[in-house]
A and B are shown apart, each in its own frame.
Chain A
Amino acid sequence: GAVVSQHPSRVICKSGTSVKIECRSLDFQATTMFWYRQFPKKSLMLMATSNEGSKATYEQGVEKDKFLINHASLTLSTLTVTSAHPEDSSFYICSLAGDSYEQYFGPGTRLTVT
């Protein structure tokens, strides 16, 4: 399967600042990538679907101006949390659509906003 990396793995930022999370596909060209959010002891909630070269499609209730997604190439997608607040603290996981209906997941990024 494809290898997906995320950077950083952990980040702590102050309230009001912006944080960028990178998701890279190391050995697979991903036309479609997904961003999920996971609260402690909860399931993964889809935030948005991004297709290379076009605007992301956000799920209902996800603020597109707060969570900026850029799928600039077939191997890189970024999620920027703008003006972060403590309630944005969460585990963010990217995933790319691979072959055989499988999705390949990154290791996740733990964001803590103080």
Chain B
Amino acid sequence: AQSVTQLGSHVSVSEGALVLLRCNYSSSVPPYLFWYVQYPNQGLQLLLKYTSAATLVKGINGFEAEFKKSETSFHLTKPSAHMSDAAEYFCAVKVTGNTPLVFGKGTRLSVIA
């Protein structure tokens, strides 16, 4: 069965600093990987996805993630944090189209002015 591990339940960065949210996956077959963002009391918004094309994936709001098979990682980065980036971020994995996404435990990002 597939799974994801998000290292760090809470990450705090200064405004303008680099954002790095870590995600490692476990899968017996090539995975499809996703990052979602959730603002308080709202649903999920897709940031970006990896579906076996380019290993460096660019998403919305300036985020990007790199799929590294050798490290089984899919870390999320953004060069410069903005106050509006403060939210909960979830890494997720699936292996086929009709199987459900399996989510990591989430990382809460705080941005300090």
Contact = CB atoms under 8 A, between A and B. Distances in A.
Interface residues of B, number: 22
B102 to A, nearest CB: 7
A22 B112 CA distance: 39
Contacts of A42: 105-106
A80 interface: no
A102 B98 CA distance: 9
27 contacts: A31-B98, A34-B100, A42-B106, A43-B90, A43-B105, A43-B106, A44-B103, A46-B100, A49-B100, A93-B43, A93-B44, A97-B97, A97-B98, A99-B97, A100-B49, A100-B51, A100-B97, A101-B32, A101-B49, A101-B51, A101-B94, A101-B97, A102-B34, A102-B46, A105-B44, A108-B42, A108-B43
